[in-house]
Amino acid sequence: MYALNSSLALWCLVGIHIGGLCSAVLARATQGTRLESPSHRLFFLAMAVVGVAMMGSLPWSRGCCLALGTTLSLMVLTVVWDVRGQHELTLDR
Label residue 13 by pLDDT band (50, 70, 90): confident
CA nearest to 22, candidates 66, 83, 63, 79: 79
Residue 63 placed within a domain: yes
Q: What is the pTM of this model?
A: 0.78
Residue 61 placed within a domain: yes
> How many domains does the chain fold into?
1
Tens digits of residue pLDDT in 15-57: 999 999 999 999 998 988 999 999 999 999 999 999 999 998 8
Q: What is the DSSP string of the chain?
A: -HHHHHHHHHHHHHHHHHHHHHHHHHHHHTTTSTTHHHHHHHHHHHHHHHHHHHHHHTTT-HHHHHHHHHHHHHHHHHHH---S--PPP----
Residue 73 placed within a domain: yes
Domain that holds residue 64: 40-79
Residue 15 placed within a domain: no
